[in-house]
Amino acid sequence: MLRIGLTGGIGSGKSTVAALLAERGAVVVDADRIAREVVEPGTPGLAAVAEAFGPGVLTADGALDRPALAGVVFADPAARARLDGIVHPLVRARAAELVAAAPADAVVVQDVPLLVETGQARSYDLVLVVEADPEIRVRRLVGRGLAEEDARARIASQATDAQRRAVADVVLSNDGDREHLAAQVDRFWTERVAPTLP
């Protein structure tokens, strides 16, 4: 098994790269998606969050009220740490289950937005970083429906390109069009992935 950690700032193009790698046969494990799954209604994760932050973080039908929770943890680092302490171990455990379920000779790509921030670089055979100019990322995020102010705040709260580069084995540049990105993914596959395959 080849384990690839895929990361990059918000709007850099991680999901796009993950989809391109999936087309080439990789098994993709998406940390954001798992983070939503572990707090779905009826999960122990959601029960733990409600226990910690009170019924105000639940909607009338018992789902997680994300804006309400965001309001609680936004300006309160201790609350944020408490939330992360609940959610992060659940995400890691579920990700580990999915990796364990992949075939022994699989190429497993884990899309982990906060890989650098959470110090997980050593968990992977290869760390693949996607980069794009912050202004281009803001434009793409606004195109995806995020408010510009929120996009800028999210970018500012994350690791810098320099911090991500420090742990990267390979850096892809996504300042160009989709074809430019796809060509780099092809080259990554040919040079770094294919030679490791049985």
Contact residues for ligand ADP (CB under 6 A)?
8, 10-16, 140, 143-144, 174, 177-178, 181
51 vs 144, beta carbon nearer ligand ADP: 144
Structure-token pair, residue 1: 């098994």
- Of 163 and 196, CB closest to ligand ADP: 163
Which residues lie across from 29 on neighbouring strands?
110
Minimal distance, residue 10 CB to ligand ADP, in Å:
5
Sheet of 2-7: strand order equals 27-30, 107-111, 2-7, 126-131, 170-173
Least gap, CB of 158 to ligand ADP (angstroms): 11
Q: What is the CA radius of gyration of the chain?
A: 18
Which residue lies nearer to ligand ADP by CB, 156 or 197?
156
Q: Check residue 9 and report its DSSP letter.
A: S
Among the listed residues 138, 132, 159, 133, the one whose alpha carbon sits nearest the alpha carbon of residue 150: 138
Nearer to ligand ADP, 8 or 45 (CB): 8
Q: How far is the CB of 19 from ligand ADP (least distance, A)?
A: 8
3-state SS class at 128: strand
Residue 47 beta carbon to ligand ADP: minimum distance, rounded to whole angstroms: 29
